[in-house]
Structure 1
Amino acid sequence: MNYDKMRADLLAAFSPTDWEAYNFLMNWIREQDFASRALNVGDTAPDFLLPDADGRLVSSEQLRREGPLVISFFRGGWCPYCTAELCTLQAAKQEFEDLKANVVVLSPDTRHFPREMKRSFGLDLQVLADVDHGVAMSYGVLFSVPEETRAYYTSLGINLGERHGSSMWMLPLPATYVVDRSGQIQNAFIAPDFTIRQEPIEILAAVRRLAAES
């Protein structure tokens, strides 16, 4: 399953209003230079303890001690680029497991939203709720949604405050990290453009390099 092909199909359906909103947000994010603040290769990955879609707490420290840990930040089940990315990760899940790698995907969506998304798309990935945006903040990938984008999302019926359980509209930059057993980041992909994601084949290559070094 190829993410770039899915992205091209989604972009082809953009209306002029969609393009206007997209270009505004992309220019704003680049002007703010949010990506430069994100953790990168060589940094220590902050550990976290977050609830999964069924409310069970998942420890990143425990997962990384079992083998390479892949952490992917996504915007939520309302975002078609995010769900496309998760479907590609789902398709590669067995390959990650064969390499003894754990994959977790983090979203600010809370309550029933992660569970509904998993059911809708047939996912059995570990989807974790980044409650109050704490983990995205610690990784440096969090930003406050500008008013113009908030108005656009509201016009589409997307209420991030309701989905996140917070009056503050905040989102993570899409980002994927590969963390080793000691907690050091060995591979990082940070995307200022929310339509661009790292292909699973590239993540798997980073995991294989790490497994070979171990």
Structure 2
Amino acid sequence: MSVELMSDHLTKTLSQVRSELLAGLSDTDREAYIYLVDWLRETDVASRALRVGDTAPDFLLPDAHGRLHSSEHLRSEGPLVVSFYRGGWCPFCNSELRALQAVKAEFDSLGANLVVVSPETRDLPRQLKQQLNLDLTMLADVDHGVAISYGVLFRVPDDTKAHCAGQGYNFGHRHGSTEWMLPMPATFVIDQDGVVRNTFVEPDFTIRQEPSDILTKIRQLAGSQTEDASPSDE
């Protein structure tokens, strides 16, 4: 993607990008998309996800360069945003990553740590960082442990597995596992005490939370913490 196209892409909302990507789907891909979303809704996978007020399980995961990152340490520095994405093969995920990259400086200015989590292992996260020119902390959810603990993991249904395999994707190979598992794309805002303060979990994997909405939640969280820290009137 050229610099000009990248710049144009980043000025659009994720909703606009989604509409363009959906319009370009083949009939077969569209049928597969509808099938999986309907299946996720019918099985109510989203009901298992963490909710506001829950304590977020801590984790220790490697980044694209093999360095380990502790959620406990990250949230000690300020609000922690954990965003799950399916993988670099998913154009909707790549659009979300570009959009998050575009506002990374705003996350930094608010003292918030942003991590994006995927089941992809081996050299895939590093390759994706280079491909999309990302400066995000990309973590590999080895053995799907974090997605399980956050309640967003599901076993890929057979029809979807057959469709993806036909497209040349082998999730078992990409994830270093014999099981075909994926996370629902989801975003969690966690405060410094480890409490979930905002969630976005949507079975329709083409819909993602706008980065501007995440930033609004972080500002609200920062404001409430400032009020809590203010001395009370006597």
Shorter-chain TM range is over 0.9
Q: Distance in 1 between matches of 2:121 and 2:172?
A: 10
Q: Which residue, out of 165, 168, 171, partners 1:157?
A: 168
Q: Which residue does the alignment assign to 1:88?
A: 99
Secondary structure at the counterpart of residue 223 of structure 2 = helix
Q: CA deviation at 1:211?
A: 0.8
- The alignment status of 1:109 with 2:116, answered yes or no, reads no
Match of 2:220 in 1: 209
Which runs of structure 2 are paired with 1:22-101 in the superposition (5 Å)? 22-101=33-112
SS at match of 1:177: strand
Runs of 4+ in 1 over 4 A off after TM superposition: none
Secondary structure of the corresponding residue to residue 83 of structure 1 = helix
Give me the whole-angstrom Cα distance separating, in 1, the residues matched to 2:182 and 2:141. Answer: 11
RMSD: 0.6
Per-residue CA shift, 1:115-167, capped at 9, x if unaligned?
A: 00000000010000000000000000000000100010011111101100001
Secondary structure of 1:143's aligned partner: strand
Identity of aligned residues (%): 61
Cα distance between partner residues in 2 of 1:150 and 1:19 = 15
One-letter amino acid of the structure 1 residue matched with residue 17 of structure 2: M
Q: Which amino acid aligns with 2:204?
A: D
1:3 aligns with 2:14: yes
- The code of the aligned residue for 2:141 comes to D
CA distance in 2, matches of 1:202, 1:97: 16
User: Which amino acid in the other structure matches residue 10 of structure 1?
Assistant: L
Alignment of 1:190 onto 2:201: yes
Larger CA Rg, structure 1 vs 2: 2
In the alignment, the residues of structure 1 paired with residue 87 and residue 210 of structure 2 have an alpha-carbon distance, to the nearest angstrom, of 18
**So what's the TM-score if we normalise by structure 1?**
0.99
TM-score w.r.t. the length of structure 2 is 0.91
Task: Give the distance between the partners of 1:20 and 1:61, measured in 2 at CA.
Answer: 41
Alignment of 1:127-142 (within 5 A): 127-142=138-153
TM-superposition CA deviations, 1:89-138 (whole Å, max 9, x none):
00010000010000000000001000000000000100000000000000
SS in 1 for 2:161: helix
Name structure 2 gaps, 5 residues minimum. 1-9, 226-234
- CA deviation string 1:9-39 (max 9, x = no partner): 1101011111111111111111100001100
Report how far residue 191 of structure 1 moved: 1.1
Report deviation, 1:213.
1.2
